[in-house]
Amino acid sequence: MSLEKLSSQVLSIIADVTRHDVSTIFLNQSFDEIENFDSMERLNLFLRVENECHVQFTIEEIMKMETIKALISGIIEKQKISS
Amino acid sequence: MQKVAFLSNINMDPLKSHLRDMGIEDSHFSGYNQHLIDLINPSSIVYNDDVEIVYMHLDAAELLKDQFYTFPDVEAAVERIDDVLNAIKTFVTRCPHKYVIISNIVFPPHLFLTFLDLNTEYSFTKVEEAMNQRITDFLKDHSNVIIYDFDRIVKLHGYKVIYDEKYWYLGRIKYSQFGFQKILEELFHLIATFRGETKKVLVLDLDNTIWGGVIGEDGCGRIQLSEDGIGRIYRDFQKMIKALTRTGVVLAINSKNNEADALEAFNNVSMMHLKWDDFVVKKINWNNKVLNMQEIAEELKVSLDSMVFIDDNAFERDLVRQHLPEVCVPEFPDDLAQLNSWFVSGVVYPYFSKLHVTKEDLKKTEHYQRYMRRKEEEYTLELSDFIEALNIKLTLHKNDLNLKIRLTQLTQKTNQFNLTTKRYTEMEVTSFIENSNSDVYGLNYEDKYGAEGTIGEAIIHREGDVAVFDTYLISCRVIGRKVEEQFFFLILDDLKTKEVRSIKANYIPTKKNMLSKDFYKRIGMHEIKPNEFQADLDEILSHRGELLSLS
């Protein structure tokens, strides 16, 4: 999957989880910068990303990821390893 | 719309996004581990008027807490489930019209006890059995509590795909996205079942569907039905279909064949488990299968959306789907070895699930066979002679709690002769029976061909000397024999003893109840507004003779 397509998929999941307009969410943002993004939504986000992007993160990896960019890099890294 | 409230001893929050995907935006969720307090506290969300169903999802390990990490103690574990059941009892006693659905107890397969679990007294398997038995026993005294078979979900899909332990440590979430999805699918399927949204008729093709091969070409000696190999798959399939008829499902055949060839197969193939008479309607001809489906629906007096059609031929399936979108046409499995598991998970579960089996269900095929014989006689006799020859005996039952399951089923299933089509749950029917200002009448039917059981129902609310018909319905099996009129007059006779002077009723049109549109007018009631009727009781009773006359 191309980086653009992956980014847009992740942004769309974040928009859905946080119920924000997707155009107001940017790749460089940290999760904390998205208004109302709470710890439950963060877990929901990872559950959905793992399911919909077909990757599996460890508990340590999830705890370390603080930005959307880090999440997308993490998915790319996992996909490289699995391919 | 009535809502479902979700209670749990673990975090079920991810269900919200699945509910949103299903277009359900405003379900209630109790706070994490607030499940018992919410059931007991009258100001909690579960007591809101708009909550119809409370779903209690229990995680076994979390229920036991530290007991889960030590040698199991059955008695102590049962106390934990009793705490939950006592809270449910408090809730359903206070709210007898709400329902509680409770998941059964499932322990994870990786237990530190290893082989000790099944070989010694220290056993989580025994704890699981005892806790689940406790829940089953609780149901005997609480008809508005229903068990959700979470164990089946875990067994069907596997522990490893339903659970995701990582999120337990991150946020008290036990399940994967897939797990949440399956939990919700099963829950809504259970709710649809208890609301009576199930099918009535299973229509089957013959060649390469209930036996292997083509009877017209292969002949009786070469079709595949045996105790081994592929023939065994079809024989087991037939056994499963036959078993399904015991839950009230009616069978029909829709097959392109010569009828004589098919009959010969049913008569002469020794491994044939299904019998010719198990099928109430048989359309075995060279007609278009769409036409055959319509005729089957017409002859059984059922709507097309109460039928499921199974055919191995993709062309025939698509044809029926395209022309009759109301008929459910599941895909046929590519791998024949999957036929029987597919039949249970892809046909029985989604279309024919039940929570109760009534006496009428057990004899449904016989009832329909008698119905078909009566129809044959109808064609040869004048209608009045036919009705007279039937020697019909009607018995009126009033406020009979023993009939509550059947009466509930009738409100949920009857479409055509149903004046208001109000669907009621068992609890609602029970509350009408127990209310001193309401009466629930059931009508039992018997004729020279046999007894049909309870086929008519009326729910009436009395307001002073006025009786209001809330529900008036008759099963389509007996329509057209003056039963609908006779039932009405039997009720009026009873109302007269209660000093009722006038009656009110209304007709609520649906896509399916055109048959009953003119009933109240025909019986002599006055239409005071469109579809609203009123009449003086004595005036109607004076028309009894002419309305019941057969000539």
Q: Which of B83-92, B235-244, B471-480 has the lowest mean pLDDT?
A: B471-480
Q: Which residue has the higher pLDDT, B521 or B111?
A: B521
Question: What is the least distance, in Å, from the CA of B14 to any CA of chain A?
Answer: 6
Mean pLDDT to the nearest integer, B78-100: 93
CATH H-level superfamily of B201-352: HAD superfamily/HAD-like (3.40.50.1000)
Pairing status of strand B526-529 against strand B502-506: unpaired
pLDDT value at B362 more than 80: no
CA distance A27 to chain B (A): 23
What is the model's pLDDT at position A79? 80
The most confident of B378-382, B485-489, B539-543, by mean pLDDT: B485-489
Check pLDDT > 70 for residue B1: no
Mean pLDDT of chain B: 90
Whether residue B468 has pLDDT greater than 80: yes
Mean pLDDT of B457-475: 94
Contact B255, B262 (CB under 8 A): yes
Residue B103 scores a pLDDT above 80: yes
Q: What is the mean pLDDT of residues B233-254?
A: 95
pLDDT digits (tens, 9 = 90+) for B343-356: 999 999 999 998 88
Q: Residue B91: is its pLDDT beyond 90?
A: yes
**Angstrom distance (rounded) from CA A68 to CA A49:** 12
d(CA B234, CA B467): 55
| Residue bearing tokens 């164990």 | B151
Which pLDDT score, from 0 to 100, does residue B545 have? 75
Judge: A51–B167 Cβ closer than 8 Å, yes or no.
no
Give the residue with greater pLDDT, B146 vs A38: B146
Q: Do domains B201-352 and B359-548 have the same CATH topology?
A: no
What ipTM was predicted for this assembly? 0.83
Under the banding of pLDDT at 50, 70 and 90, the label for residue B179 is very high
CATH of the structural domain A3-82, one choice from 3.40.50.2000, 1.10.1200.10, 2.60.40.10, 3.40.50.740:
1.10.1200.10
Indicate the fold that domain B359-548 takes in CATH.
Answer: Aminopeptidase (3.40.630)
Per CB-CB distance under 8 Å, the chain A contacts of B177 are: 47-48, 50-52
Separation of CA B485 from chain center: 28
- What superfamily would CATH give domain B3-194? SGNH hydrolase (3.40.50.1110)
Q: Would an 8 Å CB–CB cutoff place B489 in contact with chain A? A: no
Mean of pLDDT values over B277-298? 93
pLDDT, average across residues B488-509:
93
pLDDT band at B492 (very low <50, low <70, confident <90, very high): very high
The 10s digit of each residue's pLDDT in B301-336 is 899 999 999 999 998 999 999 999 999 999 999 999
Nearest to B166 by CA among B157, B152, B177: B177
* Spans of all domains in chain B: 3-194, 201-352, 359-548
What pLDDT does residue B119 have? 86
Provide mean pLDDT across the span B235-259. 94
Predicted confidence at residue B269, as pLDDT, reads: 92
The pLDDT value recorded for residue B355 is: 83
B291 versus A3: which is more confidently predicted?
B291
Q: How far apart are CA B461 and CA B503, in angstroms?
A: 10
Touching B: A residues 7-36, CB under 8 Å: 16-17
For residue A83, what pLDDT is reported? 61
**pLDDT of B242 above 90:** yes
Quick check: B157 pLDDT over 90? yes
Whether B379 shows a pLDDT value over 80: the answer reads no
Q: How far does chain B reach from its first CA to its final CA, in angstroms?
A: 48
Distance from C-alpha of B451 to C-alpha of B444, rounded to nearest angstrom: 8
At B9 the pLDDT is 94
Q: What is the pLDDT along chain A (83 residues), one digit of tens a residue?
A: 677 788 888 888 888 888 778 778 777 788 877 776 788 888 888 999 998 888 999 999 998 888 888 898 899 888 877 66
Q: How confident is the model at residue B380 (pLDDT cuts 50, 70, 90)?
A: low
Residue written as token pair 């036990």:
B174
Provide the H-helix boundaries in chain A: 3-18, 39-52, 59-64, 68-82
pLDDT given at position A39: 82
Of A16, A39, A47, the CB nearest to B177: A47
Q: Residues B429-451: what's their mean pLDDT?
A: 91
Confidence of residue B235 (pLDDT cuts 50, 70, 90): very high
Rounded to an integer, what distance in angstroms lies between the CA atom of residue A63 and that of residue A78? 16
Beta-carbon contacts below 8 Å between A and B: 37
Cross-chain CB nearest to A59 (options B17, B170, B177): B170
